[in-house]
Chain A
Amino acid sequence: MTNETTTTTETGAETNLSTGRMAGGGVDVKATVAAAAAASPKKTSTDQVALSLNNVGVWYGQHEAVQGVSFDIYQRATTALIGPSGCGKSTLLRCFNRMNDLIPGTRVTGTISVEGVDIMGKDVDAVQLRRHVGMVFQKPNPFPMSIKENIAFGPKRLGLAKSKSQMDDLIEESLRDAALWDEVKDKLDEPGTSLSGGQQQRLCIARVLAVKPDIILMDEPCSALDPIATLKIEDLMRTLAKDYTIVVVTHNMQQAARVSDWTAFLLAGEERTGRLIEYSPTEQLFTTPRDKRTEDYITGRFG
């Protein structure tokens, strides 16, 4: 175990990420990871941690929306957050790039670390953080500008391209990585809003990729899309997970089963406070969940 920890730290330093700390709280993450290692040969307890939550709680004024959530999200894997409406999954996701800062009266407790840094720290610049932790929303929201300008917007502000040709390369690369290039390469100057819903969503993903993030958050990314567009986004998520850490909130359990490596199930009780019930490798969670409440939810026997 000592050796494994050392390896994690060394590689962690190389990739500038936090060490694999096991968090306490509502779920025994150590046991989960050990079970996971047994259940899924690809994932082991020495996997690099991208995002570490320790006893995270979220308050909207006097209302506690999320309580005591602790788990580690692994690098270059897709983690799905599932649970019924109001379980706090979107609230939790929005903590990961401090989108909750924008909602007055919101308070986040506990620690969330990205690259070993507590992102709730006062010295952390939320704008810089959001460059590392990008987000894709429910409804595609291209800026009211051309396809090209949509992609160039972030890199321009961050000074990521030193010349026009560098910027053109970055635009092409981002659109290619978002599996959109072939469909738009001849109309880069047309407005982003002229694209179909699925294409707009891939444009938004390309826009996120253009600023070279480490983590991509997706909040119900396919809920406004038709099945074909949905499958395209899901394929894209599978491809992107080779290079990025993806965290996706979805109401669609089949989607979670299709795209994710890990699944976290959250549930709120009478008092409407969401808690983490189970965090397992996706295959395990959907075939042999450990918690009765997970079983009841995924088999549709709730209430």
Chain B
Amino acid sequence: MPREAFQKQLSHLQDLVLEMGSMVDRAVDRSMTALLDRDPSIARTVVDNDKAVNAKNFECQNEVISLITQQAPMARDLRLVVSVAAIMTDLERMGDHAEGIARIVIMMQDEPLVKPLIDIPIMAGHAREMLRESIQAFVDQDVEAAYAVGKRDDEVDSLYDRIYHDLIQIMIGDPSTIEPSTHLLWVAHNLERIGDRATNIAERTVYSATGNLPQMDVSSY
């Protein structure tokens, strides 16, 4: 196989995406644990670890730039390399959303919950699966799996709708719940954004595999 070194660099980029994907997945998982256990110390580890997520993104972006400079990738290779750069940006932002949830948990201290945490953990489960499936689809360059991720985002969006309306009703019913309700709304919003970013990754996967960049989902948020 010609261009062995180049091939190695390309698979290293994919490894970085996988690595970053698990870092972000862990951050989302921990931020939800922090919320469910009402444990600010777990939340603080998420905030601290976000620096590592950001650093991993920079590391990868630099590798993308030097690979373009040194290897002048073309066609499928070029699409893969630019997709990695875009996906890393999405992952970095997903990390920020996990950090956002963690910061809310820290802010909430021990304020009572305005409603039991049922829909939000379900939403988090969907968002994490979307994240994992989008990354897997990218690594496998699997177009069908990528489209399946796009479809799942509808579930996350409708859960968000439901949570939003529930919380608005609670706030209307008792204005003293406005602040704690808003905290939960922010959590849900961060999860909704994670779903959108996973959809972006799925779109990039289709582009990388086929050369067409589809618009899978127009989120209303």
**Residues of A with Cβ closer than 8 Å to B?**
253-254, 257, 286-289, 294-295, 298-303
Contact = CB atoms under 8 A, between A and B. Distances in A.
A199 to B, nearest CB: 28
A117 to B, nearest CB: 37
A301 B211 CA distance: 19
B76 A299 contact: yes
Contacts of A289: 75
Interface string B183-213: 0000000000000000000000000001100
A298 B74 contact: yes
B2 A286 contact: no
B78 interface: yes
Given A253-B74, A254-B72, A299-B73, A287 B211 contact: yes
B77 interface: yes
Given A300-B74, A301-B2, 11 more contacts: A253-B74, A257-B74, A286-B78, A287-B78, A287-B79, A288-B75, A294-B75, A295-B76, A298-B75, A299-B77, A303-B2
B211 A299 contact: no
B76 to A, nearest CB: 6
Contacts of A298: 74-75
User: Considering the complex of A and B, which 8 residue pairs feature the smallest CB-CB distances, nearest first?
Assistant: A288-B211, A298-B74, A300-B3, A299-B77, A295-B75, A299-B74, A299-B75, A298-B75
Interface of B: 1-3, 6, 72-79, 210-211
24 contacts: A253-B74, A254-B72, A286-B74, A286-B78, A287-B74, A287-B75, A287-B78, A287-B79, A287-B211, A288-B79, A288-B210, A288-B211, A289-B75, A294-B75, A295-B75, A295-B76, A299-B3, A299-B74, A299-B75, A299-B77, A300-B2, A300-B74, A301-B1, A301-B3
Contact of B6 (A253, A288, A295, A300): A300
Nearest to B6: A300
Contacts of B75: 286-289, 294-295, 298-299
B188 to A, nearest CB: 39
Nearest to A288: B211
Nearest to B82: A287
Contacts of A303: 2
Nearest to B3: A300
A257 B72 CA distance: 11
Contacts of A295: 75-76
A288 B206 CA distance: 13
Nearest to B211: A288
A287 B76 CA distance: 7
A294 B75 CA distance: 9
Nearest to B7: A301
A291 B18 CA distance: 30
A93 B2 CA distance: 29
Contact of A302 (B2, B72, B77, B79): B2
A211 B211 CA distance: 43
Contacts of A257: 74
Contacts of B211: 287-288
A257 B78 CA distance: 13
Contacts of A300: 2-3, 6, 74
A295 B80 CA distance: 13
B2 to A, nearest CB: 6
A136 to B, nearest CB: 25
